[in-house]
Structures are given as C-alpha cells and as structure tokens.
C-alpha cells in the first residue's frame, strides 16, 4: 500500500499570521483562535488537499521559532485540547497533519536556557547548548557565550550530540504523537541539523506511528544526503522552486527540465512548492501574472509532493522586507473566501483533484517528450495510468506535435473532461494549447 505522504496534496499554514496573533507573546491568558482555524478544514477539502503542514505551533516568544515550551500550544493560538480537536477534525476529513519540529535551537525563555542564565556553570543544562563558554559574554548581556543560529542570539543552538538533549526531543515527539496524533514533522533548519541525530530520529519515530513522515527544510546542498533509507523521507525542493519562477520570467523551460533530470536520482519524494512563509509570494515573483496558471500546472504534474501556501489559491501577493516577513504571513478571514476566489482557484482545485486521483503522480516515472523555451511536455507513468502533461508559457496559442514513447489510440484532456478525445496518429499527439495554459492528457488504447 502506498504511504499517505506519497499521494498527498499539502496545504501549508503559518497559524500565527493567518489568525492575526500578536507579534509578541505577552499574553498571560490563552486566546482561543482554533475555532477560526477549524473553519479552514472544509476549504482544504474543497481544494482537494489531503494533508496540512501547520507551524510553528508551540509556545514561543515571538515569531514561533524561538520556542519556550515544546509541549504546550502557543497561548496566542489556544490550548493543547484545541489542537487535539483540530487534528481529530482533520483526520475525520481525510487530512493528515504535519507540524514544525524546531530542534536546532530554542528561544531564550526555554527552561534550560533560563536555568543556564541563573546558575551559569553550576547549571545541569550547561551542556544542552553548543559552544557554551564562560570566558566571554553574549551580545545580549548573558555572562557566557554560545552558538546562535546564523548569529541571531535570541536563538541559541541546542547540542544535538548530547544524549540527554536527544532523549528529551525524542520524548517530545512521542508526546506529540500520543497527545495530538500528528502524522509527521517538518524539521526546521534540517540543512544544519546533526546527521546522527536525524538518523536516530528516523529509527525512533518509525516505531511510534505507521507511515510517520519526516520532511526537512533544506535550501542548499545535495538532497540525497538527507533523503535516503536512513535519514529523512523528503526535503523542501528549493531547486525546483527557483526554476519554476525564473524559467517563466525568462521564457526558459530548459531550466526546469534540467532541474528535474538532475534530481531524478533523489526520487519522486521531494516536497515541492511555489511559495512559503519565508519566500516572496509567487504572484509577486512572476513578471507576468498570466504565468500563475502554467506554474501551478507544473507544480502538480512534475515529480514531487505538491504544496499550496495559504492564500496562494487566490493569487495574493506579498514581498518580504529587509527587516520583516509579515507581508508573507498575512491574516486572512475564511469569510472572504468567495470574494477572493478566481480562475486560479478553480484551476488549482482541478489540478489537485487530478493529482489525487491518478497513481502516475504518486511516484510514477517521468519522461521528457518535448522541450522548447516556451513549451514543455512530459509523461508520467503509473501502474495503471499513462498521462501527458503539457504547458505553454507564450502569450499566443501553440500547436504541438508530442511524440509518445508507447502505443495509444486517443487522449482525453482531464482539465476539459467534456471535450472530444484526440486521436493519436503515427505515434504523436497533436494539440493546440491556448496562451499561458496547460493540459493533462489521459492516454487510452480504445
């Protein structure tokens, strides 16, 4: 049986932004916002999403990645019981739940760091952090120095070679599984995590829950170092992310095709996306908004596990500034869904539905069929399905004669199910794609 994550269509939520939570966590009482979040579950189903990556969730001082309690839901969002109910409701609607695991560092209000501040070298937690040195003081006034993530001293780095720290984090994951019934973890900063730590995590979590998924945030590097039988199941495909927008801005589909071929050795398990909570919105990156349609078409038909970042289905824009990511993480009311919906929303819904239905997209083989600067066609081959995906990024219609590597009598465009089948003649599928569009053809013998 194929694991759920190989068939998944993800919806990505940054909850502190989506729900309009205060930027600083100074609230003494819990503010219940999960009631509003629950209203997004039917929307995810309507989009044909089968999984949600939601995070950061756990109690933090500000943006969510400066954790102060790994086992407590951020009070700006709600309670542990609220999140437990959210996961249960997701499961009842056929949606798996993946959360952020921020294990590279903590915030300065985390109990171990606070104890270190108070007791210095007498603290039993002095070895919980990397590079602790009592011979100098930190830039934030601590009477000791320590390693911080990318020099941000509000994020002291955990010592993941310390067995006590590892046990604490593994027990935290077990707590999340037992208490909330989550289905996987997205590992923050996986590109700098200790590899032995990740291998132990893989071994530990495989016995906690069947098909428990580990996906890592990796921006640079050879993905096969992380995606293998011992470490993680998947990583974020930043290579394809970059290729998707720059290839359309430059009218250069060779960039995408080269990227796909290069990554074939890693497999079909990479987590693919066009924007996220750290990247400018794809609608702001593209020079021509008409290219949103072919971009999302490729997201759902190329190898990988596709993800929609909340608001992307409506083509909303947003750019980060030098000092803030807030524009990438806006508050959106689900009540505005009808006025925000557009042609792009309909197209994404259709693409997600096709991706969910056909096994060729669940790890099926990829083969390039046709490639020019502005047109691109490839097939995806599953055990039962043979599909051809074709896109056109030109602002004029394009007539294509696509060579097929297998026999077929005709083809049906799944995005236009009412249209007449097209005959395959002399081993070629001849089609005309409208400007800035895509098509998915189901090849048939009869």
Which long-range contacts (C-beta less than 8 Å, at least 24 apart) are formed by 374-380? 374/251, 374/253, 374/398, 375/253, 375/400, 375/433, 376/253, 376/256, 376/257, 376/298, 377/402, 378/257, 378/260, 378/301, 378/302, 379/404, 379/405, 379/443, 380/301, 380/303
Which long-range contacts (C-beta less than 8 Å, at least 24 apart) are formed by 240-243? 240/270, 240/272, 240/302, 240/304, 241/272, 241/273, 241/274, 241/279
Produce one character per residue of 137-168: b if its CB has 16 or more CB atoms within 10 Å, e if not. ebeeebebbbbbbeeebbbbbbbbebeebbee
Q: What is the pLDDT of residue 183?
A: 98
pLDDT for residue 267 is more than 90: no
Which residue is it, tokens 């993480």? Answer: 329
Q: What is the pLDDT of residue 59?
A: 97
Place 85 in a pLDDT band, splitting at 50, 70 and 90: very high
Mean pLDDT of the chain: 97
Place 139 in a pLDDT band, splitting at 50, 70 and 90: very high
Are the C-beta atoms of residues 121 and 134 closer than 8 Å to each other? yes
Q: What is the pLDDT of residue 372?
A: 98
Q: What is the DSSP string of 319-332?
A: ---SS--GGGS---
Which residue is it, tokens 């249960």? Answer: 88
Q: What is the pLDDT of residue 337?
A: 95
444: closest CA among 399, 400, 388? Answer: 388
> Which CA distances in Å does 297 have to 203, 349, 444?
36, 11, 22
Q: What is the pLDDT of residue 446?
A: 72
Percent of the chain with pLDDT over 70: 100
Which residue is it, tokens 């053809």? Answer: 441
Domains of the chain: 4-107+154-361 (3.20.20.80), 108-153 (no CATH), 365-444 (2.60.40.1180)
pLDDT for residue 28 is more than 80: no
Answer yes or no: pTM beyond 0.95.
Answer: yes
Q: What is the pLDDT of residue 378?
A: 98
Partners of 306 in the β-ladder:
272
Q: How far apart are CA 282 and CA 275, in angstroms?
A: 6
Place 153 in a pLDDT band, splitting at 50, 70 and 90: very high
pLDDT for residue 27 is more than 80: no
Residues 176-232 have pLDDT tens digits of 999 999 999 999 999 999 999 999 999 999 999 999 999 999 999 999 999 999 999
Place 395 in a pLDDT band, splitting at 50, 70 and 90: very high
Helix (H, G, I), strand (E, B) or coil at 245: helix
330: closest CA among 275, 291, 249, 290? Answer: 275
Q: How far apart are CA 99 and CA 101, in angstroms?
A: 6
Q: What is the pLDDT of residue 22?
A: 95
Residues 296-333 have pLDDT tens digits of 999 999 999 999 999 999 999 999 998 899 999 999 99
Mean pLDDT to the nearest integer, 411-432: 95
Residues 219-238 have pLDDT tens digits of 999 999 999 999 999 999 99
Residues 38-73 have pLDDT tens digits of 999 999 999 999 999 999 999 999 999 999 999 999
Mean pLDDT to the nearest integer, 27-37: 89
């Amino acid at each position: 049986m194929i694991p759920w994550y190989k068939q998944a269509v993800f919806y990505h939520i940054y909850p502190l932004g989506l729900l309009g939570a205060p930027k600083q966590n100074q609230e003494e009482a819990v503010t219940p916002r999960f009631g509003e979040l629950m209203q997004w579950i039917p929307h995810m189903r309507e989009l044909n999403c089968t999984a949600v990556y939601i995070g950061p969730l756990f109690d933090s001082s500000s943006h969510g990645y400066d954790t102060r309690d790994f086992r407590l839901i951020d009070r700006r969002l709600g309670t542990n019981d609220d999140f437990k109910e959210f996961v249960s409701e997701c499961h009842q609607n056929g949606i798996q739940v993946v959360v952020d695991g921020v294990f590279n560092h903590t915030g300065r209000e985390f109990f171990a760091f606070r104890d270190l501040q108070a007791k210095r070298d007498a603290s039993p937690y002095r070895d919980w952090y990397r590079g602790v040195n009592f011979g100098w003081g930190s830039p934030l006034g601590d009477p000791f120095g320590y390693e911080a993530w990318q020099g941000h001293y509000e994020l002291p780095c955990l010592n993941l070679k310390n067995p006590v720290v590892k046990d604490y984090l593994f027990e935290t994951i077990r707590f999340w599984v037992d208490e909330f019934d989550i289905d996987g973890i997205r590992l923050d900063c996986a590109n700098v995590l200790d590899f032995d730590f990740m291998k132990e995590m893989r071994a530990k979590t495989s016995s906690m829950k069947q098909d428990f998924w580990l996906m890592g945030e990796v921006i640079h590097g050879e993905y096969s170092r992380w995606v293998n039988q011992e470490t993680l199941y998947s990583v974020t495909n930043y290579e394809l992310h970059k290729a998707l927008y720059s290839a359309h801005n430059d009218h250069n589909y060779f960039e995408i095709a080269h990227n796909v071929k290069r990554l074939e050795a890693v497999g079909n398990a990479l987590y693919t996306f066009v924007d996220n909570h750290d990247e400018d919105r794809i609608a702001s990156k593209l020079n021509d908004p008409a290219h949103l349609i072919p971009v999302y078409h490729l997201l759902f038909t190329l190898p990988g596990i596709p993800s929609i970042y909340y608001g992307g289905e409506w083509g909303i824009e947003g750019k980060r500034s030098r000092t803030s990511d807030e524009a990438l993480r806006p508050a959106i009311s689900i009540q505005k869904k009808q006025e925000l919906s557009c042609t792009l929303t309909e197209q994404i819904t259709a693409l997600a539905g096709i991706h969910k239905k056909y096994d060729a997209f669940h790890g099926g083989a990829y083969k390039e069929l046709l490639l020019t600067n502005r047109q691109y066609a490839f097939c995806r081959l599953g055990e039962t399905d043979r599909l051809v995906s074709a896109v056109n990024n030109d602002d004029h219609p394009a007539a294509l004669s696509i060579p097929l590597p297998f026999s077929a009598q005709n083809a049906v465009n799944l995005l236009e199910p009412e249209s007449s089948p097209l005959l395959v003649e002399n081993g070629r599928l001849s089609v005309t794609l409208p400007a800035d569009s895509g098509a998915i053809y189901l090849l048939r013998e009869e």
